[in-house]
Structure 1
Amino acid sequence: MTQKFTIGLLAIAFVFACKPKENQETSENVSGAFAEVLDAYYEDGLKLNPINATVAGDNRYNDQFPNFLSDDYKAKLKGHYEDYKSQIESFEEAKLSDTERLSKAILQWECDINLAEFKFNKDLTPIDQMWSANLFMGQLASGSSAQPFATVEDYDHWLKRVDGYLNWLSTTETKMREGMEKGFVLPKSLITKVLPQLESQTKSNLDEHLFYQPILKLPESFSDVDKDRITTAYADMVQNKVVPAYRKLSDFMKNEYMASGRESSGIQGVPDGDAYYQHQIKKYTTTNMTADEIHELGLSEVKRIRDEMEKIKEEVGFEGNLKAFFDFVRNNQELMPFTDPQQVIDNFNAIHDRMKPQIEKLFDVKPKTPFEVRRTEAFRENSASAEYNPGSLDGTRPGIFYTPIPDVKRYNTYSDESLFLHEAIPGHHYQISLTQENEDLPKFRKTLWYSGYGEGWALYSESLGKELGLYTDPYQVFGMLGAEMHRAVRLVVDTGLHAKGWTREEAIQYSLDNEAESEASIISEIERYMANPGQALSYKIGQLKIRELRAKAEETLGEKFDIRQFHNQVLETGCVPLALLEEKIDNWIALQK
């Protein structure tokens, strides 16, 4: 009995000593091959979009700007997604680790959603007032963004990149002419907003021209010969290339294109508009929700938040109705205390200082990437919203929170705390920087962006104000509610515009009736939704999912629930479609139990 038992143990020990070794070798081989595919996907993606490389702090392609609108480029891009979809699907789930299975699911999603977009004619409206490549190139041209201007080679790289960019800019007119023939054109109100952006680049005064700004910052270390050569080349680039190209495009859009502009406001006004909008909903929310479902959710959230706003109105002793309170907040001079734009920047930095003592209660992992608050550049300030630009992957370039200050005397502070929580800390700066710094993630996941997750996290972050020592002023609480209302209103007006036939004016009026944003800001926002259908839906959909997951974890785990660990779980995997995030949190809850 004992001997038999001993032999049995030896046999079992032998099996377990040998079999894992075989499995381990097989697993290591599969993992190595899988990792190679992920790395190749990322590297090939940078070659196809070298702007993404520059943004990530990878300077290998700083001289390149492909013609994203050419048939050749689109064929290469489509082949890229088809090839990697095929490669990734060849890996068996059972031979992958949990992290690898998640990477496979994400890459499958990424390929599928991008391949689906080829069915539509997005390229026929390549220029708008908010999202198009010319605006980001303006940021790079300023010399204070992701494009480096530290060496002679950097300056030469930019000259070559601008040549590629101007080829793209020329093709935009060709594409817009094709769009005019096929019924794919911008609404007239958006064309009106694009024109001053283009015209601002037709200035003849070199020192004032955006594309000449790097010359005003030439490093003293350059030799006189290099300084003279580069200065001459940049003057030629601006005067003989950039200015004529912008003038030609501006004249075309002001005249022929404006005459063909749409009177309709939503994407329903173009062929296949309904199908395109459903694709956009899926792309931005990473869900299968319909426009009708989202519209109804928006109406219900607007009602709920209005009830919360009523409580703040009563707390401050305002006796009028809620709409009158909106007007009161919009025009309250006590909430517009600044006379110099630097005071706005200082106020955001002061908010950060107030939060610092509390941050470790909610987060035990913080990013190493530095962070700055800056004013939005003048050339795009009038049409821009506050935004966050990520730091470089290596953390040498800071994450930047840009805030537009077109008229400092009319700058209203009532929502500054929630805005900082969203765009800066712990919103986009934590979420993006921690992803980029996570050495366990493959490279392609460090720079992925899913709006449902990313904007959902940022809006969820706004609700953390009290826990971080903010929202002690009822107007700042109202600002938080106003920011959440703004995202709830988006569910209603975006679907209204693009699925229910609403006009621009109807969407503006609905916003004015339900939120305290200024009329100018609301007009800019509505036109933003018109330019990029579906993007505005992502914030509230993502926030509600993260709130739901937190509530589930708190209820299920009780005293075992640790808010810092929950935040780690949400943030550590980076951007993922919401269904995959929910699966991950459910598994974590089960393990904690």
Structure 2
Amino acid sequence: MKKITFLCLITVFIISCKKEATSDTSKETAVIPFAELLDNYYEEGLQLNPLSATMAGDNRYNDQFPDILSPAYKTNLKEYYESYKSQLSNYPDATLTDTEKLSKAILQWDCDVNLEGLTYKKDLMPIDQMWSPHLMFGQLASGVSAQPFNTVADYKNWQTRVDQYLVWLSSAEKNMRQGIKEGYVLPKSLIQKVIPQMEALAKPDVSSNLFYTPVTNFPESISEEDQKAITEAYTAMIQYKIIPAYKKMADFLKNEYMEAGRESSGYGDLPDGSDYYNFAIKYFTTTTMSADEIHKLGLSEVARIRTEMEKIKEQVGFDGDLKAFFDFVRTNKELMPFSTPEEIIANFNKMHATIKPKVDELFSLQPKTPFEVRRTEAFRENSASAEYNPGSLDGTRPGIFYTPIPDASTYNVYSDESLFLHEAIPGHHFQISLTQENTELPKFRKTLWYSAYGEGWALYTESLGSELGLYTDPYQLFGMLGAEMHRAVRLVVDTGIHTKGWSREKAIAYCLDNEAESEAGITSEIERYMAMPGQALSYKIGQLKIRELRAKATEALGDQFDIREFHKEVLETGCIPLALLEDKINTWIASKK
């Protein structure tokens, strides 16, 4: 995975809900100022999704973790979206400013797509190896993520949240049992990856448990007496709650769920899997494209990028075909120069120093939120990809680029420059931080995540490396092409797996033929697409749209085109569906003529 934020994950968990009979549950609400309506939508959303608040640095709900699988929760969520969708009719466009019109269009889309998502049964497969809440909760448990551990109250809040999380974990098992009965189960290859994640937290040694970490890093402001009491409470919590719960889940997965697991790879074999996949395309790409259109586009992009790769192969003087060059790049020890994780982190920081003098030439709008590079936590790095976690809304918690380093001696650096541009600067860190810092945006738009825009922007920024002083090494330029190829093959294999009956093995083989990622990395990626259909399509679809809009503006404006102004136009309104972004850029072009 090259990126997905917690906020996106939370949205995915929300849409993964059981099909229910529709009913008119809209609330009768007096007409209020439009800005107040938007604020209410945000505030009620935080109450429904307290992890969103925690991730945004809002600590009011740090003791809460709702059981998003319960019927009561799903009823409340449905009523929430129906109510706000109904209220939008009270605000004619003629009465709104341009910014308010855009907010109205976004809110309409958000309500519609989430209500549609609530009609599917994806929550009968609530746990997987890459996306589900147990992984996010593990990050919070580490004590160095968004959940604060600065006061005695913070430590107590976490204990309360853990109790509620364990209710969700129990509901997850219940849903998975129901999923077995109804034919909604994970492929066996994915179940095999989840079992070790559960077993790691079921080991009897309390002091080595991830949930024990916060009591090994007390702030000085907490007294010794309180530290002792908290340590005793956390020890009991882990010994009598955490370890038994994770052992129960691990045993269920090994002894019952594995036997029921699917041999097939795609959603096409689930009862309503084809319909769900069509929805997933809409949700993640924010377009009306069909699976066949995306598959053909992917094949075209793969062919184009292969041509560019051939040029690099010739430049470095490699004698052999492109597939042999992929193998050479994968195994070239000169591209594995480091022996410690610290060296790898330092290399990313060196890239940051290189691009700093050049950023002003491309961006007039830059964030104030601080930024850090960190190694991915050990408990999840074997199955994790590099990712960006946003800073807090108030800027007190930095944006963090996490990179997994299971073995520093075999870490291949050939694509690290494009990776840094994508995950960090000017990719996700710029896009997300600028959205959060924009005082003109209503709160609900500061934490929205539309993958086609967010991931499309990040992939687009990879092409800016030469302008920012990177890609002076042909292998790093090949790495950029490799990263783009990685997103192009996703269009082919994601649609292949879920609509054309491709097996896991066929998809892996296709990737090995067309990109230089390691077989282990490709395997992890294919299993990611199996677990979350459609998400992987968003990167290339979004990138191509932003490229198209830049080319259109360049041609239309000629000497009047300013790249700094174009980037400002794309970034300033935050994460929006692609159709709304296109409308915005078209309006900007017209205003400049």
Q: Shift of the alpha carbon at 1:89?
A: 2.5
| Cα distance between partner residues in 1 of 2:423 and 2:32 | 37
Bigger shift: residues 219-228 or 278-287: 219-228
Q: Shift of the alpha carbon at 1:32?
A: 6.8
User: Per the alignment, in what secondary structure is the counterpart of residue 574 of structure 1?
Assistant: coil
- In the other structure, the counterpart of 1:267 is 267
Contact 1:31 1:96 in 2 (8 A): no
- In the other structure, the counterpart of 1:581 is 581
- In the other structure, the counterpart of 2:14 is none
Q: Which amino acid aligns with 2:377?
A: E
User: Per the alignment, in what secondary structure is the counterpart of residue 369 of structure 1?
Assistant: coil
Structure-to-structure mapping, 1:66-145, within 5 angstroms: 66-145=66-145
User: Per the alignment, in what secondary structure is the counterpart of residue 381 of structure 1?
Assistant: coil
Bigger shift: residues 206-215 or 317-326: 206-215
Contact 2:460 2:547 in 1 (8 A): yes
- In the other structure, the counterpart of 1:22 is none
Q: Shift of the alpha carbon at 1:542?
A: 0.1
- In the other structure, the counterpart of 1:7 is none
Q: Shift of the alpha carbon at 1:426?
A: 0.2
Structure 1: gaps (5+ residues): 1-29
User: Per the alignment, in what secondary structure is the counterpart of residue 123 of structure 2?
Assistant: helix
Contact 2:49 2:66 in 1 (8 A): yes
| Cα distance between partner residues in 1 of 2:180 and 2:201 | 25
Contact 2:31 2:90 in 1 (8 A): no
| Cα distance between partner residues in 2 of 1:283 and 1:335 | 38
- In the other structure, the counterpart of 1:61 is 61
Contact 2:55 2:392 in 1 (8 A): yes
- In the other structure, the counterpart of 1:239 is 239
- In the other structure, the counterpart of 2:23 is none
- In the other structure, the counterpart of 2:326 is 326
Per-residue deviation, residues 387-428 of structure 1 (Å, max 9, x unmatched): 000000000000000000011111000000000000000000
Q: Shift of the alpha carbon at 1:311?
A: 0.2
Contact 1:372 1:399 in 2 (8 A): yes
- In the other structure, the counterpart of 1:417 is 417
- In the other structure, the counterpart of 1:454 is 454
Q: Shift of the alpha carbon at 1:223?
A: 2.0
Q: Which amino acid aligns with 2:123?
A: D
Q: Which amino acid aligns with 1:230?
A: I
Q: Shift of the alpha carbon at 1:255?
A: 1.1
Q: Percent identity?
A: 70
| Cα distance between partner residues in 1 of 2:542 and 2:273 | 24
| Cα distance between partner residues in 1 of 2:453 and 2:100 | 20
Q: Shift of the alpha carbon at 1:206?
A: 2.1
Structure-to-structure mapping, 1:187-586, within 5 angstroms: 187-586=187-586
- Give the RMSD, CA atoms, in angstroms: 0.9
Q: Which amino acid aligns with 2:553?
A: A
Q: Shift of the alpha carbon at 1:203?
A: 1.8
Per-residue deviation, residues 287-307 of structure 1 (Å, max 9, x unmatched): 000000000000000000000
Q: Which amino acid aligns with 1:549?
A: L
More helix by share: 1
- In the other structure, the counterpart of 1:14 is none
Per-residue deviation, residues 326-356 of structure 1 (Å, max 9, x unmatched): 0000000000000001111000000111101
How many residues were matched structurally? Answer: 564
Compare CA radii of gyration and give the structure with the larger one. Answer: 1
Q: Which amino acid aligns with 1:286?
A: T
User: Per the alignment, in what secondary structure is the counterpart of residue 33 of structure 2?
Assistant: helix
Q: Which amino acid aligns with 2:471?
A: Y
Q: Which amino acid aligns with 1:438?
A: N
Q: Which amino acid aligns with 1:502?
A: W
Per-residue deviation, residues 93-112 of structure 1 (Å, max 9, x unmatched): 11111100000000000000
- In the other structure, the counterpart of 1:185 is 185
Contact 1:424 1:430 in 2 (8 A): yes
Structure 2: gaps (5+ residues): 1-29
| Cα distance between partner residues in 1 of 2:366 and 2:158 | 34
Q: Shift of the alpha carbon at 1:365?
A: 1.5
- In the other structure, the counterpart of 1:20 is none
Q: Shift of the alpha carbon at 1:136?
A: 0.2
User: Per the alignment, in what secondary structure is the counterpart of residue 569 of structure 2?
Assistant: helix
| Cα distance between partner residues in 2 of 1:160 and 1:229 | 16
Q: Shift of the alpha carbon at 1:207?
A: 2.2
Q: Which amino acid aligns with 1:235?
A: T
| Cα distance between partner residues in 1 of 2:509 and 2:305 | 18
| Cα distance between partner residues in 2 of 1:485 and 1:533 | 19
User: Per the alignment, in what secondary structure is the counterpart of residue 372 of structure 1?
Assistant: strand
| Cα distance between partner residues in 2 of 1:219 and 1:547 | 48
After TM superposition, which residue ranges in structure 1, 4 or more long, deviate above 6 angstroms?
A: none
Q: Which amino acid aligns with 1:524?
A: S
Contact 2:497 2:503 in 1 (8 A): yes
Contact 1:207 1:216 in 2 (8 A): no
Q: TM-score with structure 1 length normalisation?
A: 0.94
User: Per the alignment, in what secondary structure is the counterpart of residue 565 of structure 2?
Assistant: helix
